[in-house]
Amino acid sequence: MNTENNKSNSVVKRRSASQWAVAWRRFRRNKAGVFGLIVVLAVVFIGIFGDFIAPYPAFPNPQALAPFYNGNVRTPPNSHYLLGTDVLGTDVLSDILHGTKYALYVGVVVTLITMAIAIAVGAISGYFGGAVDNVLMRVTEVFLVFPSLLFILIFVRVLTLGAGVGTAINFLGITIPTGLTIVILVLAIFNWPGDARMIRGEFLRVRELEFVEAEKALGASNKRIIFRHILPNILSSIIVVASLTIAYAILLEAGVSFLGFGDVNTMTWGQILENNFANMRVVWWAELFPGLAILITVFAFNLLGDGLSDALNPRLRD
Amino acid sequence: MLRRLRTLAQSSMSRYIVRRLLYMIPVVLGISIIAFITMYAAGDPISLIKMGKPNIDATTLNALKAYYGLDKPIPIQYLKWLTNILQLNFGKSLYGGGSVNSLIGPEIWPTIELQVISLIIAFAISIPIAVLSARKPYSKQDLTVTSFSLFGVSMPTFWFGLILIIVFSFSLGWLPSAGAKGAAGFLWWGNPALDVIAHFILPVIVLVYVSLAQNIRLIRANMLEVLRSDYILAARASGISDRKVVYRYALRNAITPAVTFLALALGSMLAGAPMTEYVFSWPGLGRQYVSSTLGLDFPTIMAITMLITVMTLIANLIMDILYVYIDPRVRIR
């Protein structure tokens, strides 16, 4: 790489750094957004260290049933079991702490897949237009009236039939539950069209700006324009949508599990709710607290998303 | 000539409706094909029954397959299903031996009733709240409204229902926890009409709160944008009262986009019916859908999917027609 190129690179870098610094300053002033960020960080911390904080180990470990063997099934919250024990005789607090990592796994992986597809499709469709764009618009229109929850349920049910729900994949020492992963893939498949539409709109907007025209006149390739010029300009919108998608995915997975379509051997928050649903007259604490965990997490991601949106796209604010 | 004919035809509302109905056909067909392929890709339902009952003999299995028409190739099965469905015959349920029609027929109305009532209430409440909030953006009342609605979109629908049941049915004993009607011997509030109302209250609260939250966020955002526009400034400058500016001039432009959203909201509410209906054991299509999908009752799943798709599309059409009347700038193309 020659010196001139390096120089222009460093100029771009410095300017973009200050742009992010400005956004961060604006974000810091938004109390709700900062609160969301703090809660999200706390949830991530629990997701990583939850297994060590929890008083009892996770379900496949026989020790998880210790309260059961001590005759403490369906115990209301007390000093020993802070959030009570559920119908299976496991400690609800431990279940929630262990379940945090699954909630984050669902949120993050669904969002990564969704955004990857949405950016690819949105970029092609928004930048090149033409027939591809037409097809994409028709497809997303169908998806807008599509009863997607119904299809998510059929897909999950049919796909988990043969796949052996109880099995898990061992990846670099991390156990990844198969059933939950199937749910994640299905959620991502039905989630990308809305985001692709949004990214297409952004591409259409930026494509018409003068600097893109200038870049074209200088003979830049399409690839360069898309990745080096347009994409960084719409990154702020992508970040905002991504944080809202995480929230949405966590909610949807909880619903799918609650309806009985989830992975029975993976204690996600929705799964705890489903297990205790039939007995909720007795074990109300096993319904209240896991739901609160979902609410707090999703609320925090939504607050973060709104805060980022205000900080990164100040034009939208009054 | 041709062009003039076309504009003539297009200016008529009935032609527009017919065209929209025709446009629905490929969408419905596409969705039905996707649903059909997904389910039958899992294997035929009779072989799945065999997984549960391993000692069933081969002749019985073949007879069962022939009875349900599952011995034919999938494209033939699909065509047969399609011709039946055009005569509103959804086939035989794999459970209980009855027809799908007799199974889901009584469940259509409870679902429509619940959804439409909730949607109307939600829309009626959300407009004044959103306007109140947008008139003074970032004030205390606006912050209350926005955090309340953000809370609403962050809450699992079904969980809100669970909490209401625990509080109002189990703890306080004020309202029924399940079903659409009391049993013959016991009526809530002592009267059949009041009994029906008592059963509606909790599910309606859940559905209203959820769609209220989405509506308020949308109408508030529109209202903020409209209140910034030049014609509002002009109206204010000519001394028209604030109340009139907001309610007469701005509101109309702020709710028109929300009408489109109303159609989408109805669609997502219909598709979300499984959640609420499952929680409240509501005798509707959504609850039936959950148990049929868990039990792999393919003909019933297909029937409900198709019904909900068609209902959503029709709701969309009605909203689009309303839109033309509300907003004269929208011309039928």
ipTM value of the model?
A: 0.81
CB contact under 8 A, A287 and B278: no
Residue B85: pLDDT over 50: yes
Q: Please answer whether residues A247 and A294 qualify as being in contact, where contact means their C-beta atoms are separated by less than 8 angstroms.
A: no
Amino acid letter, B276: T
B82, pLDDT greater than 70: yes
A142 contact residues in B (CB cutoff 8 A): 27, 30-31
**pLDDT at residue B61 tops 80:** no
Percentage of residues in chain B with pLDDT exceeding 90?
0
Are residues B293 and A154, on separate chains, in Cβ contact within 8 Å? Answer: yes
CATH topology for A21-48+103-316?
Answer: MetI-like fold (1.10.3720)
pLDDT at A47 over 70: yes
Confidence of residue B12 (pLDDT cuts 50, 70, 90): low
Summarised one tens digit per residue, pLDDT across range A221-250 is 888 888 888 888 888 888 888 888 898 899
Residue A272 in this model has a pLDDT that exceeds 50: yes
pLDDT for the residue A163: 56
Question: What pLDDT is stored for residue A112 in this prediction?
Answer: 93
Q: Which residue reads 């299903």 in tokens?
A: B81
- The whole-angstrom distance between B309's CA and the closest CA on chain A is 6
Cβ distance B157 to B272 under 8 Å? yes
- Kindly state the DSSP code that residue B98 receives in the 8-state scheme: -
* DSSP one-letter string for chain A: --HHHHHHHHHHHHHHHHHHHHHHHHHHH-HHHHHHHHHHHHHHHHHHHHHHHSSS--TTSGGGGHHHHTT-TTPPS-SSSTT-B-TTS-BHHHHHHHHHHHHHHHHHHHHHHHHHHHHHHHHHHHHH-HHHHHHHHHHHHHHHHS-HHHHHHHHHHHHHHHH-TT-EEEETTEEEEHHHHHHHHHHHHHHHHHHHHHHHHHHHHHHTSHHHHHHHHTT--HHHIIIIIIHHHHHHHHHHHHHHHHHHHHHHHHHHHHTT-S-TTS--HHHHHHHHHTTTTT-HHHHHHHHHHHHHHHHHHHHHHHHHHHHH-GGG--
Is residue A270's pLDDT more than 50?
yes
Looking at residues A264-291, what average pLDDT do you find? 85
In this prediction, residues B47-73 reach a mean pLDDT of: 72
pLDDT value for A212: 81
- The average confidence (pLDDT) of chain B is 77
For residue A317, the model assigns a pLDDT of 46
CB contact under 8 A, B274 and A150: yes
Residue of A nearest to B221 (CA): A316
CB atoms within 10 A of CB A171: 8
Which of A154, A280, A291 faces B156 most closely, judged by CB atoms?
A291
Does the distance separating the beta carbons of B31 and A146 come in below 8 Å?
yes
| pLDDT value of residue A297 | 93
CA distance B28 to chain A (A): 10
* Average pLDDT over every residue of A112-141: 84
All residues at 6 or more sequence positions from A124 whose CB lies less than 8 Å from its CB, including other chains: A132
Size of interface A-B (CB pairs under 8 A): 127
A199 is written with which tokens?
């990214």
Mutation pick from A43, A138, A144, A145 vs chain B, by most beta carbons of B within 10 Å, is A145
For A148, name the nearest residue in chain B, comparing CA atoms only: B271
Rg (CA), chain A: 23
More confident residue, B11 or A286: A286
Contacts of B162 in chain A (CB under 8 A): 273, 277, 280, 287, 291
Q: Are the beta carbons of A34 and A305 closer than 8 angstroms? A: no
Sign of the CA dihedral running A212, A213, A216, A222? positive
Average pLDDT over residues A42-55: 86
Q: What's the mean per-residue pLDDT of chain A?
A: 80
CB atoms B274 and A294 under 8 Å: no
Higher-pLDDT residue of A102, B42:
A102
Which chain B residues contact residue A295 at CB under 8 A? 151, 154-156, 159
Chain B residue with CA closest to A304: the answer is B150
Residue B131's contacts (CB-CB under 8 Å, 6 or more residues apart) are: B219, B223, B246, B247, B251, B254
Q: What is the pTM of this model?
A: 0.82
Which amino acid, residue A162? G
Inspect the interface and report whether the beta carbons of A294 and B313 lie closer than 8 Å. no
Name chain A contacts of B149, Cβ cutoff 8 Å: none
Residue A9 pLDDT exceeds 60: no
CB contact under 8 A, A254 and B156: yes
pLDDT mean over B173-202: 73
Q: Report chain B residues whose CB lies below 8 A from the CB of A147.
A: 267, 270-271, 305, 308-309, 312
Q: How confident is the model over B95-109, as pLDDT tens digits?
A: 777 777 777 888 888
CA distance A44 to B115: 37
In A, minimum Cα distance to B264 occurs at A145
Q: What is the pLDDT of residue A38?
A: 92
Say if the Cβ atoms of B170 and A284 lie within 8 Å: yes
Whether pLDDT at B321 is above 80 = no
Cβ–Cβ < 8 Å for B111, B273: yes
Angle between helices B251-271 and B100-135 (to 10 degrees): 150
Under 8 Å between Cβ of A174 and A102: no
Q: Name the residue with higher pLDDT: B46 or A308.
A: A308
Model pLDDT, residue A88: 79
More confident residue, A17 or B231: B231
Phi, psi values for residue A195, rounded to 5°: -70, -35
User: Which residues of chain A have a CB within 8 Å of the CB of B300?
Assistant: none
Whether A306 and B312 lie within 8 Å, measured CB to CB: no
Q: Which helix (H) or strand (E) holds B309?
A: helix B298-326
Residues B62-101 as b or e (16 or more Cβ within 10 Å = b): eebbeebebeeeeeebbeebeeebeeeebbbbbeeeebbe
Q: pLDDT tens, A161-220?
A: 765 555 666 666 666 777 788 888 888 888 888 888 888 888 888 888 888 888 888 888
The pLDDT score that the predictor gives to residue B3 is 59
pLDDT, residue A110, reads: 93
pLDDT category at B333 given cuts 50, 70, 90 is very low
Q: Residue B99: helix, strand or coil by DSSP?
A: strand
Rounded CA-CA distance A282/A267 in Å is: 20
Angle A99-A104-A110 from CA coordinates, rounded to 5°? 125
pLDDT of residue B137: 73
Q: How confident is the model at residue B11 (pLDDT cuts 50, 70, 90)?
A: low
Q: How confident is the model at residue A315 (pLDDT cuts 50, 70, 90)?
A: low
User: Any idea what the Cα angle at residue A23 is, between residues A18 and A29, rounded to 5°?
Assistant: 130
- A chain contacts of residue B229, beta-carbon cutoff 8 Å: none
Taking CB atoms and an 8 Å cutoff, what residues of chain A touch B228? 318
The pLDDT tens digits of the residues spanning B198-249 come to 788 888 888 888 777 777 877 787 778 787 788 888 888 888 887 788 877 7
Residue in B with minimal Cα distance to A244: B154
The Cα–Cα gap between B95 and A261 comes to 20
| Residues of chain A contacting B305 with CB distance shorter than 8 Å | 147, 150-151, 154
Please state at what angle helix B2-10 crosses helix B13-41, rounded to 10 degrees: 80
